[in-house]
Structure 1
Amino acid sequence: MRAYLAAMDDWQPMAIYGLVAGSLAILSWFGDRRRMRRSNPDAVGFMPWTAIFFFSTIVACVTLGLAARDWFTA
């Protein structure tokens, strides 16, 4: 895996990490939406969907921003 990443440009691993974090943000958004619309208010889950959404969105924005900066300056 390390040799594959070494053959990439500098912006490509950051773009991959950003896309993974963005996918996690979308998944956690759906989880939070499902938690908010549950029919049984006593059926509380254990996943902190709001926190996962918030932090994965921040990571996605930062990593995709860094990837775009490296891509445009290359």
Structure 2
Amino acid sequence: MEESDQIMAIVGAVAAGLAISAWVLDRRRMRRRNLDRVGFVPWTAVFFWSLMAAVLLLGLSGRVWLGIRS
């Protein structure tokens, strides 16, 4: 595995961690008790884009790991 492939795998793992934390925080916001305390971070958008980055980067690095090169 080349260095660029390792970087893709690491960044993909970080993006997956960010997606998990954004999902948890969005769920926490939706279940809040005080409805007037609305946050300012769009957790749904953060979740979506970080999940897309994680899927793409881990998919590309997984192809290299499996030996499928084009």
**TM-score, length of structure 2 as denominator length:** 0.89
Aligned position for 2:24? 30
Aligned length: 67
Query: Residues 2-41 of structure 1 correspond to what in structure 2 (within 5 A)?
Result: 9=2, 10-41=4-35
Identity %: 55
Where does structure 1 lack aligned partners over 5 or more consecutive residues? 1-7
Deviations 1:21-44 (A, max 9, x none): 000001101110110000011110
Q: Which structure 1 residue ranges, 4+ long, deviate > 4 Å from structure 2?
A: none
Residue 44 of structure 1 is matched in structure 2 by: 38
State the one-letter code of the partner of 1:66. Answer: L
Q: 1:4-63 deviations in whole A, cap 9, x for unaligned?
A: xxxx72421111010000000011011101100000111100000000000000000000
Distance in 1 between the 2:5 and 2:49 partners? 21
CA RMSD, 1 decimal: 1.4
Rounded to whole Å, the distance in 2 between the matches of 1:15 and 1:52 is 19
- Which runs of 5 or more residues in structure 2 are unaligned? none
Q: Distance in 2 between matches of 1:32 and 1:45?
A: 10
TM-score, with structure 1 as normaliser: 0.84
User: How many angstroms apart in 2 are the aligned matches of 1:36 and 1:72?
Assistant: 40
